[in-house]
Amino acid sequence: MKRLLLVSTLGLLGWTRVASAQTVRGVDEFGAYGPSTTRDGSPQSAAVEIRFGAYNPRVDNSVPNGTPYADTFGNKTRFMVGLEGDWQALRIPHLGTLGPGLGWGYTRASGLARLTSDPDQISDETTSLTIMPIYLVAVLRADVFPREFGIPIVPYAKLGMGTALWSSSDGGETAHAGDVKGTGLSFGPQYALGGMFLLDILDRQTARDADVSLGINHSYVFGEWYGSELDAFGSNKRMNVGANTWVVGLAIEF
Amino acid sequence: MFNLRRVFALWAVVAWFLGSGGLAQAQTAGGITVTVPNTGVQRDHQDYAGKVLVTQINLKDCINEDFFTFTVNMSTGLGLSNYSLEVWAGTGCDTLSNRNPLTATCWRVGGPQTPTLIVSGLKVPVRTLLSGRTGGNSVGTGGSGGTGGTDSTGGTGGTDSSGGMDTTNAGSGGTSGSASDSTIPSACQPTGSITAAQTLALYFMLLDTSGAVGGQAQYKVTFKLNAPPPPSNIQTGVGEGIAPISWDAPSGTTDQATIDGYQLYCDPAPGIEGVNESGIEWDPNILPAACPDSDILKAGARPDDKYKCGTASKTSTRANATNLINNVPYWVSVATTDTYRNIGTVAEPACAKPQPVTGFFEAYRAAGGEGGGGYCSFSRHARPVMLFTVLGIGLSLVLRRRRAT
Q: What is the DSSP string of A178-246?
A: TTEESEEEEEEEEEEEEEEEEGGGG-HHHHHHHHHHH---EEEEEEEEEEE-TTTTT-TTS-----EEE
Q: What are the residue ranges of helices labelled H in B242-307?
A: 253-258, 271-278
pLDDT category of residue B100 using cuts at 50, 70 and 90: confident
Q: Does B372 contact A at CB distance below 8 Å?
A: yes
pLDDT at B12 over 60: no
Q: What is the mean pLDDT of residues A14-37?
A: 44
Whether residue B112 has a cis bond before it, omega within 30° of 0:
yes
DSSP A51-101: EEEE----GGGG-SS--HHHHHH-SPPPEEEEEEEEE--EEETTTEEEEEE
Q: What is the pLDDT of residue A86?
A: 96
Q: Give me the pLDDT at residue A41, please.
A: 76
CB pair distance less than 8 Å for B372 and A180: yes
What is the pLDDT, as a whole number, of residue B132? 83
Q: Which has the higher per-residue pLDDT, B392 or A156? A: A156
Interface contact flag, A171 B241, Cβ < 8 Å = yes
Residue A6 at interface with chain B, using a CB cutoff of 8 Å: no
Nearest residue, CB atoms, A177 vs list B365, B375, B405 = B365
Which chain A residues contact residue B363 at CB under 8 A?
Answer: 66, 68, 71-72, 114
Judged by CB atoms within 8 Å, which residues 30-69 of A form the interface with B? 59, 62-69
- pLDDT tens across A218-232, in order? 999 999 999 998 887
Section A92-116 average pLDDT: 95
Q: B368–A18: do the CB atoms touch at under 8 Å?
A: no
Domains and their CATH numbers in chain B:
27-224 (2.60.40.2550), 232-352 (2.60.40.10)
Mean pLDDT of A32-51: 71
| A20 at B interface, C-beta within 8 A | no
CB B125 within 8 A of CB B131: no
Stretch among A238-252, B144-158, B277-291, B353-367 having the lowest mean pLDDT: B144-158
Nearest to B387 among A68, A126, A233 (CB): A233
How high is the mean pLDDT of chain B? Answer: 80
> What pLDDT does residue B230 have?
93
Give which of B111, B96, B161, B100 is closest to B132, Cα–Cα: B161
CA distance B329 to B302: 20
Q: Which pTM was predicted?
A: 0.70
User: Is it the case that residue B33 has pLDDT exceeding 50?
Assistant: yes
pLDDT(B201) > 60: yes
pLDDT band at B282; cut points 50, 70, 90: confident
Contact A238 B373 (CB under 8 A): no
Q: DSSP state, A103?
A: E
More confidently predicted of B174 and A62: A62
| Higher local confidence (pLDDT), B22 or A83 | A83
Where is pLDDT greater, at B120 or A30? B120
pLDDT score, position B27 = 53
| Main-chain dihedrals φ then ψ at residue B21, nearest 5 degrees | -75, -15
pLDDT in tens, B207-238: 999 999 999 999 999 999 988 899 999 999 99
The pLDDT score that the predictor gives to residue B326 is 95
d(C-alpha A100, C-alpha B104), whole Å: 81
Q: Best interface-test mutation with B: which of A6, A123, A166 has the largest number of B CBs within 10 A?
A: A123
**CA-CA distances (angstroms) from residue A71 to A93, B28, B361?**
51, 78, 12
* Cβ contacts of A63 on chain B, cutoff 8 Å: 364, 367-369
Dihedrals phi, psi of B365, to nearest 5 degrees: -70, -35
* Number of C-beta neighbours around residue B354 at 10 A: 27
Total Cβ atoms within 10 A of residue A50: 14
Interchain contact, B357 vs A114, CB within 8 Å: yes
**Mean local confidence (pLDDT), B354-362:** 95
Residue B34, Cβ density class (10 Å: 0-12 exposed, 13-18 middle, ≥19 buried): buried
Task: Assign A28 a pLDDT band (cuts: 50, 70, 90).
Answer: low
Q: What is the mean pLDDT of residues B303-331?
A: 95
B163: left (phi over 0), alpha (psi -120 to 50) or beta: left
Q: Do B364 and A63 touch (CB under 8 A)?
A: yes
**Higher model confidence: residue B239 or residue A37?**
B239
- d(CA A17, CA A20) in angstroms, rounded, equals 9
Q: What is the rounded radius of gyration, in angstroms, for the C-alpha atoms of chain A?
A: 23
Give the DSSP H or E segment for B330.
strand B330-338
Q: Is the distance from CB of B246 to CB of B235 less than 8 angstroms?
A: yes
Q: Is the CB of A2 inside 8 Å of chain B's CB atoms?
A: no
B176, B179, B181, B186: CA torsion to nearest 10: 20
What's the pLDDT tens digit per position in B318-352? 999 999 999 999 999 999 999 999 999 999 999 99
pLDDT for residue B258 is more than 50: yes
Dihedral sign for Cα B59, B346, B302, B154, please. positive
Of A66, A100, A183, the CB nearest to B374: A183
Can you tell me the ipTM of this complex? 0.82
Q: Which fold has domain A46-253?
A: Porin (2.40.160)
* CB atoms A115 and B355 under 8 Å: yes
pLDDT band per the 50, 70, 90 thresholds, residue B386: low
What amino acid occupies position A125? E
pLDDT at A11 over 60: no
Chain B stretch 58-97, residues whose beta carbon is closer than 8 A to a beta carbon of chain A: none
Residue B375 has a pLDDT of: 85
CA distance A160 to A189: 6
C-alpha atoms less than 13 angstroms from C-alpha of A238 in its C-beta half-sphere: 30
pLDDT given at position B84: 95
How confident is the model at residue B31, as a pLDDT? 79
Helix (H, G, I), strand (E, B) or coil at B358: strand
* pLDDT of residue A127 exceeding 90: yes
Instruction: Pick A161's closest partner by Cβ from B320, B368, B390.
Output: B390
pLDDT of residue A129: 97
The B residues from 309 to 338 touching A (CB cutoff 8 Å) are 320, 322
Q: What is the CA radius of gyration of chain B?
A: 31
Mean pLDDT (whole number) for B151-168:
36
Is residue A5 scored above 50 in pLDDT?
Answer: no
What is the structure's pLDDT at A107? 97
Helix axes A2-15, B385-404, angle to 10 degrees: 30
Distance CA B90, CA B199 (A): 10
- pLDDT of residue A77 exceeding 60: yes
Domain ranges of chain A: 46-253
| In the predicted structure, residue B23 carries a pLDDT above the cut 80 | no
Interchain CB contact of A81 with B (< 8 Å): no
The whole-number pLDDT of residue B404 equals: 60
Contact across the interface for B379 and A237, Cβ inside 8 Å: yes
CA B123 to chain centre: 21
Over pLDDT 90: what percentage of chain B?
Answer: 55
Buried b (16+ CB within 10 A) or exposed e, B144-163: bbbbebbbeeebbbbbbbeb
Minimum distance, in Å, between the CA of residue B244 and any CA atom of chain A: 6
Q: What is the pLDDT of residue B385?
A: 53
Q: What is the pLDDT of residue A161?
A: 95
Q: Where are the beta strands (DSSP E) in B126-257?
A: 139-140, 159-160, 198-207, 213-224, 232-236, 243-248
